[in-house]
Amino acid sequence: MIIEAGGGPGGPTSSRAGFSAVDGTRYSGTSGGRQEVELLGAGGLVSAGDQLRYKVYPELDAELSYSATYVAVEVVFADGTRLDGARDQYGKAADAAGQGAAKILYADQWNDVQIDLTAAAGKTVAQIVLVVDAPEVGHEFAGWIDDVEIGPAPAEPDGSDLAAYVDTRRGTNASHDFSRGNTLPITAWPNGFNFLTPVTNASTHRWPYEYHRANNADNRPELQGLTFSHQPSPWMGDRDQLTIMPVAASEPLGDPAERAAAFSHDDETARPDLYAVDLANGVRAELTPTDHGAIFRFTFPKDAPGRHLIFDTIDENGAFEYDGNAVTGWVENGSETGRTRMYCYGEFSTAPTAFGEAHGGRDNARAATFDVPEVTLRIATSFIGVDQARHNLELELEGRSFEEIQAAANAVWNERLQVIRPEGATPPQLRTVYGNLYRLNLYPNSHFENAGTPDAPEYRYASPVLPTNGTPTARETNAVVKPGKMYVNSGFWDTYRTAWPAYAFFYPALTAELVDGFVQQYRDGGWIARWSSPGYADCMTGTSSDVSFADAYLKGVALPDPLATYDAGLRNATVAPEATEVGRKGVETGFFAGYVSTDTEESVSWSLEAYLNDFALAEMATRLADVYPERRDQLLEEAEYLRRRSLNYVLLFDNDINFFQGRRPDGSFAKAAADFDPEEWGGDFTETDGWNFAFHVAHDPRGLANLYGGPRGLEAKLDAFFATPELAVKKGTYSIVIHEMLEAQAVRMGQFGFSNQPAHHIAWMYNYTGTPAKTQAMAREVLDRLYVGEQIGQGYPGDEDNGEMSAWYLFAALGLYPLRVGAPEYAIGSPLFPRVTLEPLGGKPLTITATNPEHPYVQELQVDGKQLSVASITHADLTAADQLHFTLGAEPSDWATLQLPPALTPDDAVAKPLVDLIPVDPTKPLFDDTSTTETTVERAVWSLPAPATPTLYTLTSGSAVAPSTWQLEASTDGTTWTVLDERTNQTFRWPRQTRPFTIKTPGEYQHYRLTTPTPTTLAQLELLH
């Protein structure tokens, strides 16, 4: 092995430099035995509390041997000894072989390694060496080393201020090429109206803050501003960005690149309640948030040639002015899905000596110039208008000091963070737990404002889901302003899996308001956004607010309007939308075929997500039927129909290939067995491949197992899944290797694409094979090695979408997981801590303890002293309990191997979905299996190929008059008729709605007719069995 100076890694996901040095130190060689070279010569005396810390970037070799990850920096002491048995900050063996075997180092990424040297206190460092010790022989390896140092370990928080554990930059050392979170360093109020973030690029609404990638020639980031943001995800984009930048130059520089000031991450304070940075030019910038605003404090050097604050946007869509008392303005830029104009109102601590155009940059950039070294700015925003922005400032900022405002933000964050109190956790674990709770509590966001007083609030919001009226002015929105509360910013495709269950578990009272805030979208615009950003966006597959909100209701969240919540989901489940931005795609035919055909892109994803949502709505309807007697019969009919429809997953399972795949409109499978490759990405699958959708039946794992031949077959399928490597080469229908492919490869757990949400439930499916120990091992491995790098802007193995990736960790660390979302229960895993106290806001305290938490395997689980012998616990039992006590061990046990957890399918039979007894007839609108055609009906008569016994039937209304009264009759001979069902005063709430009706006394008949008293419009009719 040799080491040499070089320009730094050349990969597309990193800047071409060392981690902090301008140049990098490269190691390279050919694997085979232990190799070491000297990095540094003699050092000083080691003291208690000292640590060895370094950054390492192992390059991924073409053979995927990961030989470069078998690397470590070691200390040789003057007495010839080394630090035997050393562990890194994550508890992994710190020697080269141990680092590689633990798979703790990411290839093609900078990694942060810290090793406590207290055991060597009093010894003298003679030499620091670099070691490579890869087990395989003959592989070329290379990598980079930087920032090798020995010194005192930084002090850790004492636990009195939980917000101190949160570094908001976690997840920002990422890009569109490779994600370690793809977050922003957001300082904000929990579920706040605004975000506040520093930006290293003030001209983009995608990745405005880059931890490392955009560094300057000196390998330092540069600040271009402090920005009001509303970004839910870089992939959705930001909107209405307002940037403020201190400039200590003779001229008020407006161009973002010219005004940029370098800084070091060591000089940042990045907390939920405070962001502060000392810039290289001597300026100190600080901010702390309120719900609708912030207070900024800027301290300029005494000898600064000028002192200016620049007000800017990312483009020309904005304006600012100063009237001698306040700075006011508006911005309107970025993502357009529901975006409306944002207004601001701000007051300076001292009047500017000048206010006018900035020099350079965008024409609308303005500069306030001051003759004092310290300037405070209180500023609030509004989507309603300037006057409301001023009112928001009066409510939240007026008369309050910087310290008072920060203390209020700190208090509300600590209230949110205190719901989990782990004992015996390591510093990285504490940073991860509280960093995850922070991310969870950032979203979703309030979109409403108080037009009243604190004691008598009058909430209003500028609706992002209704059409605007006219043109906005410089002082007032053109959005429809309505009374009430609305929430926005949630990608339900991501968040339904863990984030919404986490809200319901940790914050049940708050969740009621959050849910109703999205139901307000339905009340306004008729639909809940699939991906609220903030309005209706044609993005992702599935209407997963259905399962998110049904799950909350079933877990006892006291929803303000349960029926409206259900009806919003019912519309998704029974109506083909007119616009692609709302509802489910492909259901014009999918409702009747039982699946979305390949005529719709990502058809398997659309179908499998729909089945899960249907299941959850069925469970909610069943519960609602006991609460709302006036709708009981209809709710029970809908529950039966939706529950049976959720079994349609069997229609997409191809027995010839043992995978799910798409079906064409004619019913044939999309690919022949010889042409289907489960490792190919895209096509019928969203952001993944056939392997990761082979287990996408979380609502019915027992039924899924039956497709594979039973629990042993499902186990074998899972084993193969985790044993088949992801090579990130089979692009499928994607034109390039997308970032999700590279991230899935980096997980190094076979096909397990934990870096993206579709895989998040898969490890927990082992509980349904009688081998829960495999769930425990897999979940613990994820916890142990994929949430790393939290102190260098990493911390996640992929996109952290609105708290979902965070909530996965939180649940798994407790030994729980909401596997069957839509069923009030949790899968059991392996807890991470010896003791953790849970204090949900609005819920009952719970203590989870574990004996031998260093081991992953459950030997025994007691709930309040009583044995639990199944790998599942109901929400009711969990929230009623005082204590869960796990006994863990180093080897798998027979715990929970004899009894499988509950599922929709109760036995070994393959599920049987509903079948339409009427043959498809493309010439007859009533029977052509599409709601895009319709016909006027007064009496419809038809015959089946043979006698049959329907138990349900559906009618789909047309675009005009829907039926309200009718009679369904049947006959064995076509002459003598028997009434099967008769309805009066029925309502179809929406055009093209499919409604189910139960036949209470089924019989076997061949001939049928439907009669209405007056002509009515129908799009489809089904007889189901």
**Secondary structure (DSSP) of 167-183:** -TTTT-S--SSS-S---
| Of 803, 783, 797, 725, nearest in space to 755 by CA | 797
* 847 pLDDT higher than 90: yes
Q: What is the arithmetic mean of pLDDT over 351-364?
A: 98
Give backbone dihedrals phi and psi of 487, rounded to 5 degrees, phi first: -115, 150
d(CA 950, CA 952): 6
Output the average pLDDT for the chain: 97
d(CA 679, CA 677): 5
| Number of alpha carbons in the 13 Å side-chain half-sphere of residue 132 | 31
- CATH level 3 topology of 2-152: Jelly Rolls (2.60.120)
* 684 pLDDT higher than 80: yes
Cα 412 to Cα 273, 295, 728: the distances in Å are 9, 17, 43
State the SS3 of 182-201. CCCCCECCCCCCCEEEEECC
pLDDT tens across 740-771, in order? 999 999 999 999 999 999 999 999 999 999 99
Please tell me whether residue 965 adopts helix, strand or coil conformation. Answer: coil
pLDDT-derived band of residue 328, with 50, 70 and 90 as boundaries?
Answer: very high
Please tell me whether residue 88 adopts helix, strand or coil conformation. Answer: strand
CB atoms within 10 A of CB 658: 17
Pairing of strands 825-828, 872-874: antiparallel
| Of 100, 27, 94, nearest in space to 57 by CA | 27
Direct distance between the N- and C-terminal alpha carbons of the chain, in angstroms, rounded to an integer: 71
Task: Quote the tokens at residue 192.
Answer: 């706040």
Distance of CA 418 to the CA centre of its chain: 22
Instruction: Classify residue 91 as left (phi > 0), alpha (psi -120 to 50) or beta.
Output: left
| Of 386, 252, 289, nearest in space to 331 by CA | 386
pLDDT for res 922? 97
pLDDT tens across 594-625, in order? 999 999 999 999 999 999 999 999 999 999 99
pLDDT for res 16? 67
d(CA 252, CA 320): 15
Q: How big is the chain, counted in residues?
A: 1025
State the SS3 of 537-599. CCCCCCCCHHHHHHHHHHCCCCCCCHHHHHHHHHHHHHECCCCCCCCCCCHHHHHHHCCCCCC
d(CA 870, CA 636): 30
Cα 447 to Cα 30, 381, 529: the distances in Å are 58, 11, 14
Omega within 30 of 0 (cis) for the link into 534: yes
d(CA 867, CA 379): 57
For the ranges 32-41, 159-168, 257-266, which has the lowest average pLDDT? 32-41
Using N-to-C axis directions, what is the helix angle for 499-506 and 508-525, rounded to 10°? 130
- Calculate ∠ Cα 883-887-889, nearest 5°: 155
With contact defined as beta carbons under 8 Å apart, do 343 and 328 qualify? yes
Burial class of residue 835, CB neighbours in 10 A (0-12, 13-18, 19+): middle
* 14 pLDDT higher than 90: no
With contact defined as beta carbons under 8 Å apart, do 377 and 244 qualify? yes
Percent of the chain scoring above 90 in pLDDT: 97
* 15 pLDDT higher than 70: no
pLDDT for res 375? 99
Please tell me whether residue 226 adopts helix, strand or coil conformation. Answer: strand
In sign, the C-alpha dihedral spanning 902, 907, 911, 916 is: negative
Task: Quote the tokens at residue 107.
Answer: 């290839």
Which CATH number applies to 925-1024?
A: 2.60.120.260
Q: Which helix (H) or strand (E) holds 520?
A: helix 508-525
* 452 pLDDT higher than 90: yes
Task: Quote the tokens at residue 359.
Answer: 């020099």
- The label of the residue with tokens 């039982």 reads 594
The residue type found at 640 is E
With contact defined as beta carbons under 8 Å apart, do 345 and 386 qualify? yes
Q: Which helix (H) or strand (E) holds 72?
A: strand 71-77
Instruction: Classify residue 989 as left (phi > 0), alpha (psi -120 to 50) or beta.
Output: alpha
pLDDT tens across 468-498, in order? 999 999 999 999 999 999 999 999 999 999 9
The residue type found at 657 is I
pLDDT for res 41? 84
What distance separates the 2 farthest-apart alpha carbons in the chain?
Answer: 106
With contact defined as beta carbons under 8 Å apart, do 988 and 954 qualify? no
> What residues does 131 pair with on adjacent strands?
36, 72
d(CA 507, CA 558): 12
pTM passes above 0.85: yes
- CATH level 3 topology of 162-418: Beta-galactosidase; Chain A, domain 5 (2.70.98)
d(CA 799, CA 758): 12
With contact defined as beta carbons under 8 Å apart, do 39 and 138 qualify? no
pLDDT tens across 518-558, in order? 999 999 999 999 999 999 999 999 999 999 999 999 999 99
pLDDT for res 597? 98
* 12 pLDDT higher than 70: no
pLDDT tens across 985-1020, in order? 999 999 999 999 999 999 999 999 999 999 999 999
pLDDT for res 7? 86
- Domain coordinates of the chain in residue numbers? 2-152, 162-418, 677-799, 925-1024
The residue type found at 809 is Y
Helix boundaries (H) for 594-649: 603-625, 632-645
d(CA 575, CA 992): 6
d(CA 730, CA 178): 17
The answer to whether 162-418 and 925-1024 have equal CATH topology is: no
- Calculate ∠ Cα 261-267-273, nearest 5°: 105
pLDDT-derived band of residue 10, with 50, 70 and 90 as boundaries?
Answer: confident
pLDDT for res 11? 73
| Number of alpha carbons in the 13 Å side-chain half-sphere of residue 320 | 29
Give backbone dihedrals phi and psi of 743, rounded to 5 degrees, phi first: -65, -40
